[in-house]
Amino acid sequence: MTALFRDMQLDLVCRDPKIHRFVEQALSACLEIPRTKKHVSLIVRKGRVLAVGTNAFKGHPIASRIGYRFGEQHSELNAFLKCSQRDRLTLINVRFNKDQQMRMARPCALCLPWCSGIFEEIYYTCPDGIVRKLDSKAVVRHNLSTGILMPGGVGS
C-alpha cells in the first residue's frame, strides 16, 4: 500500500450538511455529462458556488504545463479557470456513475499538488458513499505542493 493511499484512508469523513448539499447539487450536473466518467468540481466561497467545472476535451496551455494527457482540462482546472476569486476557496470534487452511485473523486496525482496550494479545503466523494475532507498536511508531508497555479505562477 502506497503512502498516499494510506493518507487517503486517514482523510476525515465529512459530516457537514452544507458540503453534502453541494454534493447533491452536483449530482444533476454529473448526470448531464454524456461520458462514462461523470466528474464535476465545484469551487465554493462563503457558501456560494463560484464555478463549476467538468473534465473537458478542450486543451489549454496550463493543462499542458501541468502534464495532463493531450493538454485536456481536468474538472478542477476547468472550474478554476472559470473562477475570478483566488482566495479562501473550497474545492468539492464529485463523481457519480450512471446509476447515481458515488465514485472516487479525489484529485489525481497531477491535480493534487496545485489544488492543495490554492484551496483551503478539498472535499471529494468516495465509492463507499462517503464524502471525505482531504488531509492537506499529507500533501505537504510528501512534498507534493507546487506553485504552478499559485499567485505569480503560471495561472495568475
Residue of 120, 93, 119 whose CA lies nearest to 106: 93
> According to the model, what pLDDT value does residue 154 have?
44
pLDDT of residue 40: 96
pTM of the model: 0.84
Fold exhibited by the domain 3-141: Cytidine Deaminase; domain 2 (3.40.140)
Cell of 62: 496550463
Answer positive or negative: Cα dihedral of 81, 40, 141, 66.
negative
| Structure confidence at residue 144 (pLDDT) | 53
Contact 49, 25 (CB under 8 A): yes
pLDDT tens track for 86-113: 999 999 999 998 888 999 999 988 998 8
Q: Is 39 helix (H, G, I), strand (E, B) or coil?
A: strand
| Domain ranges (residues) in the chain | 3-141
pLDDT at 78: 93
Residue ranges in the chain whose pLDDT is less than 70: 1-9, 137-156
47 conformational bin, left if phi > 0, alpha if psi -120 to 50, beta if neither: left
